[in-house]
Amino acid sequence: MMFSNSLKLFGSNWRKVLKLFLYYIFVWGLCFALFLPVFFKFKDLVISNFQSVETFKSLTGVFQGGVGQNLHHLIDVCFSTGVDAWNVDAGLMAYGLIVLFVFLPFFVNIGKYTLNEMLYSYMTSKAEIGFFSALVKGLKRSVVYALCYTLYNFLFWAVMISSVYGLGLVTNPTFINYLLPLVLFVVLVLLFTLNQITVLGWSAASIVFDCNVFRAYKKGIKAVKRHFWSIFATTGLYFFLFWGLVMIFGVYPMVVIVPLMSTVLCVYDMVVFFASQGMRFYINENKIMTPKKLEEVDNINKTAYIL
């Protein structure tokens, strides 16, 4: 139900989504401008490492050669390129990592918070609010939220990168050819799902209850616990589809898939929180969803625990 409702809400608010895409283009352009010194410094190194036929195949999904070998080669090339760049100029490489893992997600998270502000107005009263107006309205809260969310995600990226690196160290041909694609797929889906459900409802709670970022996080966690297994399954389905498309079609379509997935998860975030709070909300012009009341859900959970 949450899956279908979030897609319906996404479809009925495509204009808001388009504005977020335009914001993404601006942010990516800004961060690319900041990244230019790194780009020009390491351009030749990256080209030399990625110019082989095997590397090209590894970026194009399952339609080119052996999937396991392609993935193993891609992991090896990516990490060796990072190490080589660090050895050439550690300071500039650190600057590039800050741009990619601090500046970029920080501004992206501000945009996602702004979209949730717009969705809140629509879901509660079908009121329309412009992107810039929503940005200004929630700027103080969105900046704090974006900063905390960006710092919070450092642990996730450390675990995810370490897991992928560990899989890349395995040299057994049987594992690489037959098990690596499946294991990597499961690890990525599971890690991204677990990370997402720990932050679901965070921005929504901040907007709905107008509270600080720490209280909002606690409210978001409590909301997820009310429907944990259904939320876990639905979130897992989203990332199953996302990583499935990446595995099939390769890295290049991620230019479109990543911002689309990011936007869908924003909408899903609001749907999860409203449903978990028992709040009525519009999913389109003619349909209002009426979830179970908050007290009903809590009483059901307590009864299940006692039994």
Q: How far apart are the first and last CA of the chain?
A: 26
- Strands (E) in 98-189, as ranges, are none
**What is the pTM (predicted TM-score) of this model?**
0.87
- 303: confidence class by pLDDT, cuts 50, 70, 90: very low
Spacing of C-alpha 25 from chain mean position: 17
- 286: confidence class by pLDDT, cuts 50, 70, 90: confident
| pLDDT tens digit sequence for 218-243 | 999 999 998 899 999 999 999 999 99
Residue 113 near residue 142, CB atoms below 8 Å: yes
Mean pLDDT score across all residues of the chain: 86
Collapsing DSSP states into helix, strand and coil, what is residue 199?
coil
Give ∠ CA 224-228-232 in degrees, rounded to 5.
Answer: 105
The whole-number pLDDT of residue 306 equals 43
209 pairs with which residues across the strands? none
CA distance 144 to 136: 14
CA distance 205 to 123: 14
Judge whether residue 190 has pLDDT over 60: yes
* Backbone dihedral region for residue 284 (phi beyond 0: left; psi -120 to 50: alpha; all else: beta): beta
Q: What is the DSSP string of 213-245?
A: HHHHHHHHHHHHHHTHHHHHHHHHHHHHHHHHH
CA distance 23 to 104: 12
Judge whether residue 263 has pLDDT over 60: yes
**Which DSSP helix (H) or strand (E) runs through 210?**
none
**Token digits of residue 37:** 């010194």
